[in-house]
Amino acid sequence: MGSSGMRMDLADEGRSAGASLSDRAYAVIRDLLITLEIAPGSIINEEALMQRLGMGRTPVREAIKRLELEKLASIYPRRGTFATDINIADLGRISEVRIPLEGLVAACAASRASQDDIEALEGILGALGDTNDNRRLLEVDVSMHRAVYHAARNPYLEATLNQYLNLSLRMLYLVLERLPHMPDHLAEQRALVNAIKARDSDRAQALAVQHLTAFADEMRAVL
């Protein structure tokens, strides 16, 4: 897939004890859609995916049905299955939902994160190294978001935010090379981890809202 961060996420999902074939298929196809390797509006070729994944038709179809519910795929009887188009007008609508929920999940993580959660967050940042590559920086940012969602210990909130994150990421990949301040956004994530470690829910909430608001503003400026 051409992105080490995405491969890391998929490997983690594939190794988890409860991961089914459809879970693994979902993770791979989801990331192909997010990174635009399957382009918006293009057909999702089940046969090609089955060959790529080394799986039968059932787990691939189950994954696609799940992706349809998450608005990443559209199934049309007798026509086929397509990657959903990207509507730039949706950025504002998605941000309306994400921004307050990102603040909430950060506050919950500051209250509930285990030591393992905190070490996982620090490990993600520690693996970044010294890079100004926007793709790699975005991969780390995504891993951070998903880890914070998990640390909040609310599976409903985690599932909701992951869905909206996925929709936002497709827009981000459209403009990724034009975003000027990606290193600054990772510095914001470092500050968020420090707030979670300090169990400072108010600061964690404020930093998460600030981080996502800045991202949304930058995207509007280049779209």
Delineate the domains of the chain, giving CATH numbers in brackets: 4-83 (1.10.10.10), 90-222 (1.20.120.530)
Q: What is the Cα–Cα distance from 186 to 184, expressed in whole angstroms?
A: 5
CA distance 140 to 130: 12
Q: What's 181's DSSP letter?
A: -
What pLDDT score does 158 carry?
A: 97
Please state, in angstroms and rounded to a whole number, the distance separating the CA atoms of residues 126 and 120. 10
Residue 175, both tokens: 């403009």
116 class by beta-carbon count within 10 Å (0-12 exposed, 13-18 middle, 19+ buried) = exposed
Query: Count of CB atoms within 10 A of residue 45's CB?
Result: 13
Closest CA to 197 of 189, 51, 162: 189
Give the pLDDT score at 179: 80
Residues of the chain whose pLDDT is less than 70? 1-19, 129
Closest by alpha carbon to 109, among 146, 140, 62, 67?
A: 146
pTM given for the model: 0.85
Alpha-carbon distance 142 to 115, whole Å? 21
**CA–CA distance, 124 with 136 (Å, rounded to integer):** 12
pLDDT at position 19 is 65
Amino acid at 98: R
pLDDT confidence of residue 147: 97
Phi/psi of residue 82, nearest 5 degrees: -130, 150
Instruction: Please tell me the predicted confidence (pLDDT) of residue 3.
Output: 42
Q: What's residue 168's pLDDT?
A: 93
